[in-house]
Amino acid sequence: MFEPSLNTLTPSPIRWFNRLYALISVIGIFTLFYRHFRNLLYSPSVTIFSQLVADVVLALVWATWQAGQMYPVHRRVFPEKLALVVKEGGFPGLDVVVCTADPFKEPPVRVVNTVLSLMAFDYPTEKLSVYVSDDGGSQLTLFAFMEAAKFARFWLPYCRKYDILDRSPEVYFGNDPFLFPESYEIKEMYETMKAKIEEAVEKRRVSHDQITHRWIKAFSKWTSTFTPQNHPTVIEVLLERNEDKDITEHPLPNLILFHIRVSAAMTDSPIFLTQDCDMYSNNPKTPLYTLCHFLDPKVDPNLAFVQFPQSFHDINKVDTYGGQHLLEIRTNIWGMDGVGGTMFMGTGGFFKRQAFLGTPSSVGPSDISEAKTHRVEKKSIKSDDILALAHHVAGCRYEENTKWGLEMGFRYGTLIEDLYTGFILQSQGWTSVFCDPERAAFLGSSPMSLSDILLQSKRWFVGFLEMVFSKHNPITYGFKHMDPILALIYAHYDLRPLLAISIVIYSFLPQLALLNSCSIFPKVSDPWFGLYAFLFLGSYAKNLVEYTMAGGGLVKWWNNQRMWLVLGVSSYPFAVIDWVLKSVGLSTIEFNVTSKVLDDEITKRYDAGLFEFGVESPLFLTISIAAIVNLFAFLTGVVVVFKNGGFEELFGQLFVAGFGVVNSWPIYEAMVLRSDKGKMPVMITVKAIGVALGLCLTQKGTIFQHKPTMVEPSLTTRTPLPIRWFNRVYALVIAIGIFALFYRHFRNLLYSPSVTIFSLLVADVVLALVWAMWQASQVNPVHRRVFPEKLPLVVKEGGFPGLDVVVCTADPFKERRLRWLTVCCL
């Protein structure tokens, strides 16, 4: 029987290019390690050891990133075919949970907009319930939703009637679309509601005259002992679909305030969506795209969630802080999808409820219509027993001695509950898919100040470190429980904070060495320099290709790589320090909610592409120190090279310092050229200059051996022969062939051991060894020339060293001749 396919999955052809690039780079990386080890062996030094450590960490993070490039896929969905599979009345129930935590960092008007846009999904309202979970326990939130429930009666039918696309009223009216007869009236209602909510937030309380009789009892819970941490359970049904109708007598979706488990007790829909409070719906058809996965006749019964990307409406044209996370959200995620599971991003994830109750084998049937827990759908959500059950499960003692947070529901105990929860689900055998419709499903806000973005990243990175050092480490645990490639991709995120080691080393070591005229990279004419150039340019070029394919341009890419460096000397090392302090019990780390409050001046500066400093954050101090050291080293290096020469030897360091300087431009600008409120605080600049100069002046002659770079007349030249490239390529190709042959021998030995195979292996190993030794002499053939005419520049004739000439005659007694030669040498 023909079964309509609601989605398709196609492997991306770019995977072949990715794999080839990875193979060539791996060879390059191992060659570089060989050089480091050889140097360490023959002339061990702190500098070489630091370079080795930096490069090993870089290589680890790079390699785990490549895992996400091995199996990229693309998906398409066909919502127009849904009707062939299920009638609208047969759609599964959908619970939407929106979380908010602080009405002063997350303005209730914005949360209301998010919720209204979700209530207005193109989905049967009798199947839809929206929950608002307020961790801040604020009466301002309740008041805002009381008002929102009234406005919804007008807004939802208006969206339906005119098939409006922007279903967040703020966005819709912000675009000035007065096309329909009711538009003015609806806008006025919205503005009135907005003003009321904002007035209450400004006064920080809800006055009695703003509360209608029906809500007095609800607000009476906010007594003098009520605090955000300690308060009675508050569950309020603001709209109930069986009772509340919009102005066209169409049922409204349920709208309920408070806790996530409450949704299982009240509506128990098979699918639920979790949403950040700022992530409004930008595409009303999003739930239909989700159904294209959950209701596909060939659906994987273990499918746990469908993830939509996090997209942002307020990123400036050049994405100054790399806030779009294009590489993570639009590139790597497809690589995860190709091996069985995209990560959960904390928002925009539609879950099958059953996935939170246990492993696929323990929870039984996985048909979406069966994916319920309490089976309470038929009763009114205002009935006493449902409300009693909801209060019971919402109570904070409910979880004690249960599996909630450990083996069920969202997994606690980390600052990255989203990534962690997705990882655990996938290690239990659940799968997930990524869905990226052309019109973004959801749009949220991204921080506009540097300190907000650095603090947010630091929180994530502490969370990643918690995961690395837990029993759920992606390598030790992941390798056993999921596709190893997927485990490696998770490992990439968890290892990222360790990049602090590499970026800090490369932000200071070559620069300080430059100040000592001490060369730590090969000189330009040295073949090893080519290897450095290949690895650096290759990875940057590949990164640019990935970024462009993800939808970014050159300027955005540049800003993104700059943020990578900025994070490397701020959020990454601070996350490591925070994690260490927390691990030894010297501090606790809390979830600091990211501020979503818009400040006009900050927005203006952000839109102009300026970095927003403004506050005295220790995170800015380290960035500034690195920027000043790079500038000082670069300028000193240029002067030294002009005075004494040595450009070839010092080029590598001049390049690294120069690269640091170019990337640090916004920091110098904020220190010296800007006078607005977002400039670098003077105290940070002063402290940074003090520390940087102290560092540059006090390290002289410590770990760096001073090597004068004065030009000396060269009496000989040594030119590598071009044939070496041919020799090397030949050796490389044959070496790959030899390894393939060995692989065959070993496999044969393993599966059908015999004397013949063993003898062949021994013979080939010996041949290969002798061959490899001979190739060693072909790798770097050189040609030498001497310039006797330049000798007077170095030494006068009178200063020539003495020269003894020994003439040998044939001697029947060889030993005697040797004895004579030895005597001469003495």
Ligand X SMILES: O=c1ccn([C@@H]2O[C@H](COP(=O)(O)OP(=O)(O)O[C@H]3O[C@H](CO)[C@@H](O)[C@H](O)[C@H]3O)[C@@H](O)[C@H]2O)c(=O)[nH]1
**Cβ neighbour number for residue 44 with a 10 Å cutoff:** 10
Residue 347 near ligand X by CB under 6 A: yes
Positions in 452-481 near ligand X (CB under 6 A) = 456
CA 748, CA 758: separation in Å to the nearest integer? Answer: 9
Residue 238: how many CA atoms within 13 Å on its side-chain side? 28
Residue 626 near ligand X by CB under 6 A: no
Number of residues interacting with ligand X: please give it, by CB under 6 A.
15
Tell me which residue has its CB nearest to ligand X. Answer: 346
Query: Is 135 marked within a binding site?
Result: yes
Instruction: Please identify, using beta-carbon distances, which residue of 55 and 578 lies nearer to ligand X.
Output: 578
**DSSP-based three-state secondary structure for 311:** strand
Distance of CA 562 to the CA centre of its chain: 14
Residue 140 near ligand X by CB under 6 A: no
Query: Is 483 marked within a binding site?
Result: no
Residue 100 near ligand X by CB under 6 A: yes
**From 126, 135, 198, 407, residue interacting with ligand X (rule: CB under 6 A):** 135
Residue 319 near ligand X by CB under 6 A: no
What are the CB-based long-range contacts (under 8 Å, 24+) for 412-415?
Answer: 413/466, 414/463, 414/466, 414/467, 414/470, 415/459, 415/460, 415/462, 415/463, 415/466, 415/589, 415/591
Only one of the segments 76-84, 100-108, 612-620, 717-725 lies at the binding site for ligand X (rule: CB under 6 A); that segment is: 100-108
CA 742, CA 531: separation in Å to the nearest integer? Answer: 28
Give 584's contacts (C-beta < 8 A, 6+ positions apart): none
Are 441 and 307 in contact by the 8 Å Cβ rule? The answer is no
Q: Compute the CA torsion angle 544, 495, 69, 548 (nearest 10 deg).
A: -20
CA 375, CA 265: separation in Å to the nearest integer? Answer: 9
**From 101, 533, 734, 768, residue interacting with ligand X (rule: CB under 6 A):** 101
Q: How far is the CB of 278 from ligand X (least distance, A)?
A: 7
Binding mask 227-266 for ligand X (x = CB under 6 A): ----------------------------------------
**From 170, 246, 319, 418, residue interacting with ligand X (rule: CB under 6 A):** 418
Instruction: Please identify, using beta-carbon distances, which residue of 99 and 306 lies nearer to ligand X.
Output: 99
Instruction: Please identify, using beta-carbon distances, which residue of 99 and 626 lies nearer to ligand X.
Output: 99
Q: Residue for token digits 């995961």?
A: 467
What are the CB-based long-range contacts (under 8 Å, 24+) for 523-529?
Answer: 523/648, 523/649, 523/651, 523/652, 524/647, 524/648, 524/651, 525/648, 527/720, 527/724, 527/780, 528/35, 529/651, 529/652
**From 338, 346, 646, 666, residue interacting with ligand X (rule: CB under 6 A):** 346
Q: How far is CA 700 from CA 513, 522, 632, 636, in A?
A: 9, 21, 14, 13
Total residue count of the chain as it appears in this document: 826
Residue 315 near ligand X by CB under 6 A: no
Are 607 and 449 in contact by the 8 Å Cβ rule? The answer is no
> Hey, which residues are catalytic here?
135, 418
Residue 386 near ligand X by CB under 6 A: no
Query: Is 300 marked within a binding site?
Result: no
Only one of the segments 98-106, 247-255, 352-360, 602-610 lies at the binding site for ligand X (rule: CB under 6 A); that segment is: 98-106
DSSP 797: G
Instruction: Please identify, using beta-carbon distances, which residue of 579 and 655 lies nearer to ligand X.
Output: 579
Rg of the chain's alpha carbons, rounded to an integer?
Answer: 33
**From 416, 499, 509, 667, residue interacting with ligand X (rule: CB under 6 A):** 416
Q: How far is the CB of 419 from ligand X (least distance, A)?
A: 7
CA 372, CA 357: separation in Å to the nearest integer? Answer: 10
Residue closest to 509 by CA, chosen among 393, 611, 626: 626
Residue 276 near ligand X by CB under 6 A: yes
CA 348, CA 442: separation in Å to the nearest integer? Answer: 7
Q: Residue for token digits 């839809």?
A: 128
Residue 99 near ligand X by CB under 6 A: yes
Binding mask 590-609 for ligand X (x = CB under 6 A): -x-xx---------------
Q: Detail the residues annotated as belonging to a binding site.
A: 105-106, 135
Q: Detail the residues annotated as belonging to a binding site for UDP-alpha-D-glucose.
A: 105-106, 135
The residue ranges that bind ligand X (CB under 6 A) are 99-101, 106, 135, 276-277, 346-347, 416, 418, 456, 591, 593-594
